[in-house]
Amino acid sequence: MISKLEHLQFRQHGIVFDPELGLRLQANDSACFLLRQLQKEADAAAALRALMEEYDLSQTEAERAYLAFHILCSRSGLKLPELELQSKKAPALAEHGDSHASVA
């Protein structure tokens, strides 16, 4: 079963909780920021732009971070919107299977 973002609750110390599935995920500040943006926007590109601005990231850095967090969330049952990559360097992270619970 896959969780929907609107059900997420943010707890202390970076704990993200989905009460429907009992899903619990540890996330850093930037990952929580990204999830909140996706709850509001439901558009990966807009959320990525907000992440880049908030944390002063390049396009490549932000895309790599999004991909890593996307992998982690997918493995946990949390479905993030797909991101159309602008950087040709970003997919290298996904190939290495890096899936830390962080964004930036």
Q: Is 101 inside any structural domain?
A: no
Residues 38, 81 contacting (CB under 8 angstroms): yes
Q: Is 102 inside any structural domain?
A: no
Region 18-45 average pLDDT = 88
Q: How many CB atoms lie within 10 A of CB 9?
A: 9
Q: Is 32 inside any structural domain?
A: yes
Region 7-15 average pLDDT = 89
- Mean predicted lDDT score pLDDT of the chain: 81
Q: What is the pTM of this model?
A: 0.77
Q: Is 33 inside any structural domain?
A: yes
Confidence of residue 53 (pLDDT cuts 50, 70, 90): very high
Q: Is 25 inside any structural domain?
A: yes
- 39-45-48 Cα angle (round to 5): 75
Q: Is 61 inside any structural domain?
A: yes
User: How many structural domains compose the chain?
Assistant: 1
Q: Is 41 inside any structural domain?
A: yes
35 contact partners, CB below 8 Å, separation of at least 6: 5, 8, 10, 16, 27
Which residues form the domain of 10? 5-96
Q: Is 85 inside any structural domain?
A: yes
Residue in 52, 44, 49 with CA at minimum distance from that of residue 83: 44
